Chains A and B, each alone.
Chain A
Amino acid sequence: DGGITQSPKYLFRKEGQNVTLSCEQNLNHDAMYWYRQDPGQGLRLIYYSQIVNDFQKGDIAEGYSVSREKKESFPLTVTSAQKNPTAFYLCASSMSLGLPNKGEQYFGPGTRLTVT
């Protein structure tokens, strides 16, 4: 059963603690992405990776870090430097650009992080 998994579904942390969100895919997709969604808002790109051992900052990378050691996995660490970490975090993946792929991304179920 192919898909993207994120764990845990809900995560609670105290302020000042780093926390790592898991994202795994078995779709054989090359590219993976992390987004953040706040209530009533669209998706904002945190980091993305087009190939193993390489990743780029998105629009709101400050306070976050990632790694891409395996094609299937793209974990996101929310550090204590992130000022407003409470949000819904979404991981997505995509095939490399080129026919028939036009850049469509597929999302995991998300992790809802609450920091108090």
Chain B
Amino acid sequence: QKEVEQNSGPLSVPEGAIASLNCTYSDRGSQSFFWYRQYSGKSPELIMFIYSNGDKEDGRFTAQLNKASQYVSLLIRDSQPSDSATYLCAVNQGAQKLVFGQGTRLTINP
């Protein structure tokens, strides 16, 4: 069983709609959770992190964490074509290492 799982997509969302990206993890001891955006051919860029249950908002992005369900999500409101990218979920399991999911490819259609 993979430690961090994401739907690989592609996820296609119309411009202006809400994009919802999901991630589940297997280690209940996981402490902090990260979302990275990766444009094609580029390196990952950190866009959100969360470590407490509930929601964390930053501009058009909202990260949601539910530790009981071992589930973390990223919502992108008012999606723009520039949001088209692969989104990587990463989990810190207590050591100074991150475990990454395989990423969800998101396409925003004008």
Contacts and interface: CB of A to CB of B under 8 A. Distances in A.
B98 interface: yes
Interface in B1-60: 4, 8, 31-32, 34, 42-46, 49, 51
A81 to B, nearest CB: 24
- Residue among B4, B42, B96, B98 with most chain A CB within 10 A: B96
Contact of A107 (B8, B44, B103): B44
A109 B38 CA distance: 11
Interface of A: 31, 33, 35, 40-45, 48, 50, 58, 90, 94, 96-97, 102-110
Interface of B: 4, 8, 31-32, 34, 42-46, 49, 51, 88, 90, 92, 96-98, 100-103
Given A48-B97, A110-B43, A42 B51 contact: no
Shortest 3 CB-CB contacts between residues of A and residues of B? A103-B92, A102-B32, A42-B102
A41 B49 CA distance: 21
Nearest to A90: B43
Given A43-B44, A43-B88, A105 B31 contact: no
Nearest to B89: A42
Contact of A94 (B4, B45, B51, B96): B96
A103 to B, nearest CB: 4
Contact of B96 (A44, A90, A103, A106): A103
